[in-house]
Structure 1
Amino acid sequence: MEFLGYPPIFWVTAVLAVVLVGIAKSGFGGGAGVIATPLMSLTIPVADAAAILLPLLLIIDVFSLWHYHKDWDRPTIRATLPGAIVGIVIGGLFFSVMADHEQLLKVAIGVIAIAFVIWQLGKNVVFKLPTESIPTWTGWPLGILAGFGSTLAHVGGPPFVIYLLPQNLPQRIFVGTSVVFFFVVNLTKLIPYALLGLLTVGNLSIVVVLIPVAYLGVVLGIWLNKRFSPIWFNRLVYILLILTAFQLLIGDSFLRMALQG
């Protein structure tokens, strides 16, 4: 039985993805939200998965921005945002060129997902992040990487964090700066997504259905944050992300096969 033209397997992955994004952003840090695009890409085209998630991310961003709109580091935004805009343009062009190569897009998303997990697990051991302030000019290339990754799979966090961490900002300013940066980035991404015809009535109707799910994820994140360590949540997400990435790389989904019998 289909709902809005999509089979149950799509709704399983969509609800799980959106709940995890809400939990990650409100309870344990938005980085874990990288799972969403790969997970949804198991059942629908990558571009559609990214397009459905973008308005939901913006809605969550607005809630976060309400709390942090006065607490952000302006020099950091000035250093990284111009590069991010360039990265968004490059990401949009990449989507346009790869529109007829869906399997290659899925492979790219799978590779990004695996690279993200490797970076997360090794950033404090193998990849030592700088602890002293880095040159302002590095904001441009890191911003480009953040904008590109965010446009392709909503995974622009690592490059931005590499620039942000050495600034040694107070925790609230650190979070607020990240919120402001990605709100502007996500807002800007609406332009290439619209030009590419991704914000269709069909995709937006799915967004409307998933808004309550996003809210549920936010509420769950706040509740879980008070009761559980983020370590266990992140481990669960990374395991799921690795499994999802391998499914994208091999070109089929165990979840799809299981649900279809």
Structure 2
Amino acid sequence: MLQLDFWFFALAAPAVIFAGVSKGGFGSGASFVAASILALVIEPALALGVMLPLYMVIDAASLRPFWGRWDWRVSGLMIAGGLPGVALGAWLFSHTEPDAVRVLIGAISLMFVAWQLARARGWVRLGEKALPHWLGVVTGCVAGFTSFVSHAGGPPAAAYLLSLKFSKTQYQANTVLIFTAINIFKFVPYAFLGMFTVQTFIANFVLAPFAVFGTWLGVKAHHLVPERAFFMLTYVLLIATGTKLIWDGLA
């Protein structure tokens, strides 16, 4: 059961602001750190359930600043792939124990950091040649799956979008549209799996202003804050939370 005490909100509020900054200004790739942080102190399913409506609030707040700057064909392909990915995630989640989910979220957190490190070191090269459009459907499916089980759809989406050499703003606009749709797909399965409770909706009500504030900060930071500084903080958080979740799940 989710305990809505001072310590929960003291942890959740800055995590939600951080998610808003990430989704509102930096392509959503690191926004799942909020769910990883909450999964340290509450059951993973409830952590995901708390965050989904807040991500949807952030999506709604992010659409207007980037409205119409996306590529409909690219976003449509990834959204089409996202639906079966969400269905696969729902099937896996319904057959998985909470400790296994902790390990899965922790592993995805660490893999995100490893993937970013590989890109920075040049071990993985993206953007040199546009990937074929059919891979947009495939990466959309992977994004739908990882988004369902940990709200971490950003990295697989980036693997395709970065190859298309969009501007920073076009890239952000496409991610906003894609994950707005994927999060809508996730809502009904989350409800059927019992990931929403009265307590999670009370938490949503209290935390929604923090989500909107974080999104506003993210839109401003999109033009002002170096991505390197933002993501360095993200990597530290993900390494710490990912390692702890794997430890707790295995223990």
Give yes or no for TM over 0.5.
Answer: yes
User: Which residue is equivalent to 1:42?
Assistant: 40
In the alignment, is the contact (CA less than 8 A) between 1:9 and 1:43 conserved in 2?
no
1:133-178 deviation digits (Å, cap 9, x = unpaired): 2122212221111000111111111111111122223443322211
Q: 2:118 aligns with which of 122, 127, 130?
A: 122
Is the alpha carbon distance of 1:219 and 1:80 closer, same or farther for their aligned partners in structure 2, counting shifts above 3 Å?
A: closer
| Secondary structure of the structure 1 residue equivalent to 2:91 | helix
Q: How does 1:1-261 map to 2 (within 5 A)?
A: 5-98=3-96, 101-124=97-120, 125-222=122-219, 228-251=225-248
Write the distance in 2 (CA, Å) between the matches of 1:15 and 1:169.
32
Q: How much does 1:65 deviate?
A: 1.0
Which residue identity lines up with residue 11 of structure 1 in the other structure? F
Q: How much does 1:217 deviate?
A: 2.0
1:152-210 deviation digits (Å, cap 9, x = unpaired): 11111111111112222344332221111111111111121122122222211110010
Write the distance in 2 (CA, Å) between the matches of 1:94 and 1:117.
24
**TM-score with structure 2 setting the length:** 0.90
Q: How much does 1:11 deviate?
A: 2.2
Which residue identity lines up with residue 137 of structure 2 in the other structure? W
Aligned residues: 247
In the alignment, is the contact (CA less than 8 A) between 2:27 and 2:154 conserved in 1?
no
| Secondary structure of the structure 2 residue equivalent to 1:206 | helix
Of stretches 196-205 and 222-231 in structure 1, the one that deviates more from structure 2 is 222-231
Q: How large is the RMSD of aligned CA atoms in angstroms?
A: 2.0
Q: How much does 1:62 deviate?
A: 0.8
Write the distance in 2 (CA, Å) between the matches of 1:235 and 1:174.
20
Q: How much does 1:224 deviate?
A: 5.1
1:44-64 deviation digits (Å, cap 9, x = unpaired): 111111111111111111111
Which residue identity lines up with residue 181 of structure 1 in the other structure? I
Stretches of structure 2 lacking an aligned partner (at least 5 in a row): none
Is the alpha carbon distance of 1:42 and 1:83 closer, same or farther for their aligned partners in structure 2, counting shifts above 3 Å?
A: same
Is the alpha carbon distance of 1:239 and 1:154 closer, same or farther for their aligned partners in structure 2, counting shifts above 3 Å?
A: same
Which residue identity lines up with residue 59 of structure 2 in the other structure? D
Is the alpha carbon distance of 1:167 and 1:229 closer, same or farther for their aligned partners in structure 2, counting shifts above 3 Å?
A: closer
Stretches of structure 1 lacking an aligned partner (at least 5 in a row): 253-261
Q: How much does 1:238 deviate?
A: 0.8
Write the distance in 2 (CA, Å) between the matches of 1:48 and 1:187.
18
Q: How much does 1:41 deviate?
A: 0.1
Q: How much does 1:233 deviate?
A: 2.2
Write the distance in 2 (CA, Å) between the matches of 1:54 and 1:11.
16
Amino-acid identity (%): 34
**TM-score with structure 1 setting the length:** 0.87
